[in-house]
Amino acid sequence: MSRFWSQVVRDLTPYVPGEQPKIAHLIKLNTNEHPSPPSPKVLEAIRAELGEDGARLRLYPDPNADLLKTAIAKRYAVAAQQVFVGNGSDEVLAHIFMALLKHPQPILFPDITYSFYPVYCGLYGVAHRTVALADDFSIDPEDYCQTPNGGIIITNPNAPTGRLLPLAAIDRIAGANPDSVVVIDEAYIDFGGESAIPLTARHDNLLVVHTLSKSRSLAGLRVGYAIGHPDLIEALERVKNSFNSYPLDRLAIAGAAAAIEDDEYFARACRQVIATRDQLVARLTGLGFDVLPSAANFVFARHPQRDAGELARALRARNIIVRHFKLPRIEQFLRISIGSELDCLALGNALHDILGT
Ligand SMILES: *Cc1c(COP(=O)(O)O)cnc(C)c1O
C-alpha cells in the first residue's frame, strides 16, 4: 500500500496464477499446459517471420492480425468479421467483461469456475452473482434461464472440475437469454467436448472463447480468440483499439496461424492427452480416489481419507506439483494436469508411496 495508489488499485484482488517454478526436473502438473511441443509448422512459421536478420521486427505487426483471423475463420467456417484475437484468452476475456458484461443487472456464473472471472468483475466494476453447482458439480441449465441478468459466463468443460455441459444445454441458455450476452469459455473443449461455435450462427448473443495455450501447446506464445456475431466482435475491437493497437506480436501471429492450420498434428496431440487421461483416471481410482468425470486435460480428484493439502505437500516434496485450491466446497480436491505418460506414471507411483497402499 502506498499513498500513490489510486482507489481502484487499493480495491483490487488480483488473480494468482499457478506457480511457474524456476527449479529444473520438476514434474509440473499444476497449470494445464500440454505435455507435447507445438506443431513443427509453428517453429517454421516463426523462423520465416524472423528471417535471416530479424529486420521485420523493426516494423509494427498487423494491428488486425488478419493472417490469423483468416486462418481461424477458415478452420471454424465463420466469417473473419466474427473473429476477435487477443494476447491470450485472458485478455480476450478482460475485454469481454468491459465491453459486453458491464450492465446494471449482475452477471451470472457458477460458484466453482475459473477464478479469474470475479477478478475482472473487480477490475471493471461488473456486478455479479454466483450460482451454486449441484452436489455432483454439474451445472443445471435451468438456473440460467429464469433469472434476469446482465450476462452469463460459463467455462465448458468447467474448470477446475472438468465436467462437460452438453451443447443442448448451451443452446437452451442462449435461447432463454436473448437480451444478454452468453459467453462460453472453451479453453478445454478440444479434450472431449463439442464446440458451441456452430451455435453462434443461430444466437447473436452467443460468444465462444478459445485459447491456444492448452490444446495447441502454445501457452508461452499468448494467443486467444473469440467467435460470435460481428456486432459482439465490433464491441471487442472498440475496447482493444482503446487499449493496445498491437496485442499480438509478429511471431505470435505467424506461429498461431500455423498452429491453427495444422489440424492433423493437433488432433493427434489431443488424442494422446485423452489416452493418458484415461490411464490416469484408472490409476487414481485404483488408489482409492474419487475422480470427477473429465472432458479436459486435467482431472479433479479427492481421496476420502486423506487431506488434499497434505497430499499436495507430500507430492511437492517428491518434486511433483499439482494445483490445490483452498476454496469452499473444493478444498479436499486436487487438480492434476495431464502430463506425459511418464509424468502421470511418476505421479501414480508417488501417490501409491504416500498413501502406503
Ligand atoms: C487457461 C485458461 C484461460 C487462459 O488462457 P490464456 O489464453 O493462456 O490466457 C482462460 N480460461 C480458462 C477457463 C482457462 O483454464
In a domain, 6, yes or no: no
Evaluate: CB of 221 within 6 angstroms of ligand 1: no
Q: What is the pLDDT of residue 357?
A: 64
What DSSP element (H or E) covers 123?
helix 117-124
The residues with which 128 forms a beta bridge, in sequence order, are 107
In a domain, 2, yes or no: no
Domain end position, chosen among 209, 229, 261: 261
94/213 same-domain check = yes
201/272 same-domain check = no
Calculate the average pLDDT of the chain.
97
pLDDT above 90: percentage of residues in the chain: 96
Q: Is the distance from CB of 73 to CB of 80 less than 8 angstroms?
A: yes
189/75 same-domain check = yes
Q: For residue 91, give the ligand 1 atom closest to its CA.
A: 9
Domain end position, chosen among 229, 261, 293: 261
Q: For residue 90, give the ligand 1 atom closest to its CA.
A: 9
Q: What is the pLDDT of residue 39?
A: 98
Evaluate: CB of 159 within 6 angstroms of ligand 1: yes
Question: Per-residue pLDDT for 118 more than 80?
Answer: yes
**What confidence tens digit (pLDDT) does each residue in 184-216 have?**
999 999 999 999 999 999 999 999 999 999 999
Q: What is the mean pLDDT of residues 241-260?
A: 98
Mutate which of 90, 91, 161, 164 for ligand 1? The one with the most ligand atoms within 8 Å of its CB, which is: 90
In a domain, 98, yes or no: yes
Pairing of strands 290-291, 224-228: unpaired
Q: Is the distance from CB of 82 to CB of 208 less than 8 angstroms?
A: no
27/84 same-domain check = no
Mutate which of 214, 221, 294 for ligand 1? The one with the most ligand atoms within 8 Å of its CB, which is: 214
Evaluate: CB of 33 within 6 angstroms of ligand 1: no
87/181 same-domain check = yes
d(CA 176, ligand 1 centre) in Å: 27
Eight-class DSSP state of 189: G
In a domain, 334, yes or no: yes
Residue 165, domain CATH: 3.40.640.10
51/172 same-domain check = yes
187/301 same-domain check = no
Q: What is the mean pLDDT of residues 164-193?
A: 98
Question: Per-residue pLDDT for 332 more than 80?
Answer: yes
d(CA 89, ligand 1 centre) in Å: 6
90/161 same-domain check = yes
Q: What is the pLDDT of residue 17?
A: 87
Minimal-distance CA residue to ligand 1 atom 11: 187
How many domains would you assign to the chain?
A: 2
In a domain, 12, yes or no: no
Mutate which of 15, 114, 212, 294 for ligand 1? The one with the most ligand atoms within 8 Å of its CB, which is: 114
Evaluate: CB of 155 within 6 angstroms of ligand 1: yes
In a domain, 7, yes or no: no
Q: What is the pLDDT of residue 21?
A: 86
What predicted TM-score, i.e. pTM, was given to this entire model? 0.97
Q: For residue 113, give the ligand 1 atom closest to its CA.
A: 13
28/56 same-domain check = no
Residues shown for the chain: 357
162/305 same-domain check = no
205/300 same-domain check = no
Q: What is the mean pLDDT of residues 126-143?
A: 98
Q: Copy the grid coordinates of residue 214.
A: 492448452
* Full domain range(s) for residue 126: 40-261
**What confidence tens digit (pLDDT) does each residue in 2-51 have?**
999 999 999 999 998 888 888 888 999 999 999 999 999 999 999 999 99
Q: What is the mean pLDDT of residues 213-235?
A: 98
Residue 345, domain CATH: 3.90.1150.10
d(CA 90, ligand 1 centre) in Å: 6
In a domain, 14, yes or no: no
Say how far apart CA 286 and CA 318 lie, in whole Å.
Answer: 21
Eight-class DSSP state of 164: P
Q: What is the mean pLDDT of residues 245-258?
A: 98
Q: What is the mean pLDDT of residues 224-248?
A: 98
Domain end position, chosen among 261, 285, 316: 261
Q: For residue 159, give the ligand 1 atom closest to its CA.
A: 13
In a domain, 99, yes or no: yes
Question: Per-residue pLDDT for 155 more than 90?
Answer: yes
Q: What is the pLDDT of residue 25?
A: 86
Q: Is the distance from CB of 185 to CB of 153 less than 8 angstroms?
A: yes
> Cis peptide before 157, with omega less than 30 degrees from 0?
yes
229/93 same-domain check = yes
Q: Copy the grid coordinates of residue 167.
A: 451443447
